Amino acid sequence: MDIKQLTDRINQFVTDKGWYAADSIFPQTPRNIAISVAVEAAELLEHFQFSELPSDIGELAGELADVANYLFQLAYLLDIDLEQAILAKLEQNYGRTWQ
């Protein structure tokens, strides 16, 4: 499955849940989805609080999936080709140095 197919599956789920509907109690606006990315990313940290390794890798995998789902959805909503954005950023980073 490629990024586009995965994004389509995510959008189908959101549609099936009714979250793209105009009267949804969970409006799927870019702002709301960006906030959701940050919230879910913060939840990753809970798995490392007071520990170098997560105690439950399955739960951590679920949190990673939540972050990815929201990232894919945000890219879709803003018409960003996430695959191309990632490749461009990798290329840019090859030319950078960190100190």
With respect to residue 79, please indicate whether it lies within any of the assigned structural domains: yes
With respect to residue 99, please indicate whether it lies within any of the assigned structural domains: no
pLDDT digits (tens, 9 = 90+) for 30-51: 999 999 999 999 999 999 999 9
Domain range for 62 = 3-94
Distance of CA 78 to the CA centre of its chain: 13
What percentage of the chain's residues is helix, strand, coil (to nearest 5)? 65, 0, 35
Q: What is the pLDDT of residue 98?
A: 85
Q: What is the pLDDT of residue 53?
A: 93
Closest alpha carbon to 63 in 36, 33, 28, 90 = 36
Q: What is the pLDDT of residue 99?
A: 83
Total tally of structural domains belonging to the chain: 1
With respect to residue 51, please indicate whether it lies within any of the assigned structural domains: yes
| CATH number of the domain enclosing 24 | 1.10.287.1080
What is the block-wise mean pLDDT of the chain (99 residues), using blocks of 10 residues?
A: 94 97 96 97 93 94 97 97 95 91
With respect to residue 33, please indicate whether it lies within any of the assigned structural domains: yes
